[in-house]
């Protein structure tokens, strides 16, 4: 246990001391924030206000509707950012293993009296710890900002669910990134992969463009990718109270359609996918990634003999 803890501590310190790695780990999140602040945020707020004007009736408080619509968009964005961090931060942290392999430090670890399983587990644990840490810092900063701008704080129950879903996403994507890293042999290749993933994660999670605006074929493909379901779980919790406040008095059918269009709920074969099924899907993805990792690592061990 002490060897495992020491390796995990070492990996955490190596990553956190590299400021460029920390910056690039958060780059995708910064891009999302910039797009929301400059382009997408006001666009989404106007879209919500237009829907309220069209379907909400005449007896409404326009000022309150604008505040509620902006808060809804902010919480919707927060949910996406948390999942973006779960993907990009874990990817960057696993990059430490690629660097260690390139510098032959892993070979030194293998010569030490420590199991290869312990070494692998330390990298995955490091990714999970730092990914969770960054997500929590993001959550705290976002909640402070939203409340300072006149928004409503989430309930303790909602925050508790967010913490659980964050831990689920971070752990699943830590295992997935470790599996992917087993097929990459150089830091430059891993950096290129990070650039691609950082660019695509916003689209795959339906953050840059809501699900309802995507071509039907693309939207159907995304429903089989874990990032979208992780984002959907987070959005259901983050946006539940804001949706209730924003669309009070409006038809339930309209609210249901809005949730589907914005990727808050995911519909497959005409039925909404339940939270339990989404959690099971994410768990299955993590289990498959773990199995592949074990098989690939086993073959590498045999080839090394």
- From first to last of its 305 residues, the chain has per-residue pLDDT tens of 788 888 889 889 888 888 877 887 788 788 887 877 777 777 888 888 888 888 776 677 778 888 889 999 999 999 999 999 999 999 999 988 888 887 777 766 667 677 788 888 999 999 999 999 999 999 999 999 889 888 889 999 999 999 999 999 999 999 999 999 999 888 888 888 988 898 888 888 888 888 888 888 988 999 999 999 999 999 999 999 999 998 888 888 888 889 999 999 999 888 889 999 999 999 999 999 999 988 887 676 544 54
Q: Which domain holds residue 300?
A: 2-304
Report pLDDT for 301: 56
Strands 267-268 and 271-272: antiparallel
Using CA atoms in the order 287, 158, 204, 278, what is the torsion angle rounded to 10 degrees? 40
User: How many CB atoms sit inside 10 A of residue 175's CB?
Assistant: 24
Report pLDDT for 303: 47
User: How many CB atoms sit inside 10 A of residue 303's CB?
Assistant: 7
The string of pLDDT tens digits covering residues 249-270 is: 888 888 888 999 999 999 988 8
User: How many CB atoms sit inside 10 A of residue 126's CB?
Assistant: 26
58: Cβ contacts below 8 Å, ≥ 6 apart: none
Q: Nearest Cα to 70, choosing from 55, 83, 52?
A: 52
pTM of structure: 0.90
User: How many CB atoms sit inside 10 A of residue 42's CB?
Assistant: 13
Q: Nearest Cα to 123, choosing from 86, 176, 84?
A: 176
At 207 the three-state DSSP class reads coil
Residue pair 228/204 in contact (Cβ under 8 Å)? The answer is yes
User: How many CB atoms sit inside 10 A of residue 181's CB?
Assistant: 22
Q: Nearest Cα to 123, choosing from 78, 36, 190?
A: 190
Report pLDDT for 57: 64
Burial class of 135 by CB neighbour count within 10 A (0 to 12, 13 to 18, 19+): buried
Q: What are phi and psi of 244, to 5 degrees?
A: -60, -40
Q: Nearest Cα to 241, choosing from 149, 138, 153?
A: 153
Total domains in the fold of the chain? 1
């Amino acid at each position: 246990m002490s060897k495992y803890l020491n390796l995990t501590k070492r990996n955490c310190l190596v990553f956190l001391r590299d400021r460029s790695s920390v910056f690039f780990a958060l780059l995708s999140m910064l891009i999302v924030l910039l797009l929301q602040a400059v382009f997408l945020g006001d666009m989404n707020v106007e879209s919500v206000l237009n829907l309220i004007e069209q379907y909400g009736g005449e007896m409404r408080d326009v000022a309150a509707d604008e505040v509620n619509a902006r808060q809804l968009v902010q919480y919707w964005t927060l949910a996406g950012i948390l999942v973006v961090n779960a993907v990009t931060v874990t990817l960057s942290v696993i990059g430490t293993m690629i660097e260690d392999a390139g510098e032959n430090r892993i070979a030194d670890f293998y010569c030490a009296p420590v199991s290869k399983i312990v070494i692998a587990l330390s990298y995955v644990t490091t990714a999970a710890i730092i990914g969770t840490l960054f997500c929590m810092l993001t959550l705290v900063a976002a909640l402070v900002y939203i409340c300072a701008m006149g928004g409503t704080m989430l309930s303790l129950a909602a925050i508790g669910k967010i913490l659980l879903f964050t831990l689920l996403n971070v752990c699943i994507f830590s295992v997935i990134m470790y599996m992917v890293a087993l097929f990459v042999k150089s830091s430059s290749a891993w950096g290129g992969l990070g650039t691609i993933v950082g660019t695509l994660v916003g689209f795959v999670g339906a953050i840059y463009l809501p699900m309802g605006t995507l071509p039907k074929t693309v939207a159907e493909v995304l429903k089989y990718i874990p990032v979208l379901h992780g984002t959907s779980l987070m959005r259901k919790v983050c946006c539940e109270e804001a949706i209730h406040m924003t669309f009070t008095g409006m038809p339930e059918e309209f609210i249901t359609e809005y949730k589907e269009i914005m990727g808050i709920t995911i519909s497959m074969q005409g039925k909404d996918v339940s939270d339990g099924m989404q959690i099971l899907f994410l768990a299955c993805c993590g289990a498959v990634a773990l199995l592949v990792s074990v098989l690939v690592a086993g073959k590498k061990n045999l080839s090394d003999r």
